[in-house]
Amino acid sequence: MRPRRVKNSMEIINNSKYYIEPNEANKGKYKELFGNNNPIRLEIGMGKGDFIVGMAKEYPDINFIGVEVQEAVIVKAIKKLDKENLPNVKVMMVNAETLDEVFDHEIDTIHLNFSDPWPKTRHAKRRLTSPKFLDIYDKLFIGKPHIIQKTDNILLFAYSIEELVKHGYIFNKVSLDLENEAIPNIQTEYERKFILKGEKINYLDAIKVNK
Ligand SMILES: C[S@@+](CC[C@H](N)C(=O)[O-])C[C@H]1O[C@@H](n2cnc3c(N)ncnc32)[C@H](O)[C@@H]1O
Whose CA is closest to atom 15 on ligand 1? 45
Q: What is the pLDDT of residue 13?
A: 93
d(CA 193, CA 191): 5
> Which of 4, 6, 43, 46 should be mutated for ligand 1, with most atoms under 8 A from CB?
46
Res. 134: pLDDT tops 90: yes
Whose CA is closest to atom 23 on ligand 1? 45
Q: What is the pLDDT of residue 2?
A: 52
Sheet order of strands, 40-44 included: 89-93, 63-68, 40-44, 109-113, 146-151, 202-208, 169-175
d(CA 9, CA 31): 28
DSSP secondary structure string for all residues of 47-112: TTSHHHHHHHHH-TTSEEEEEES-HHHHHHHHHHHTTS--TTEEEEE--GGGGGGT-SS-BSEEEE
Residues 104, 116, 138, 205: which is the catalytic one?
116
Axis-axis angle for helices 131-138, 154-166 (nearest 10)? 50
Q: What is the pLDDT of residue 123?
A: 98
Q: What is the mean pLDDT of residues 103-132?
A: 98
Q: What is the pLDDT of residue 7?
A: 72
Q: Are strands 109-113 and 89-93 parallel, antiparallel or unpaired?
A: unpaired
Mean pLDDT of the chain, nearest integer? 95
Whose CA is closest to atom 4 on ligand 1? 47
Q: Please name the helix (run of DSSP H) or strand (run of DSSP E) that holds residue 163, with its range, or none.
A: helix 154-166
Q: Is 152 in the pocket of ligand 1 (CB under 6 A)?
A: no
Pick from 154, 156, 148, 77: nearest CA to 116:
156
Q: Is 188 in the pocket of ligand 1 (CB under 6 A)?
A: yes
Q: Is 69 in the pocket of ligand 1 (CB under 6 A)?
A: yes
Q: What is the mean pLDDT of residues 60-65?
A: 98
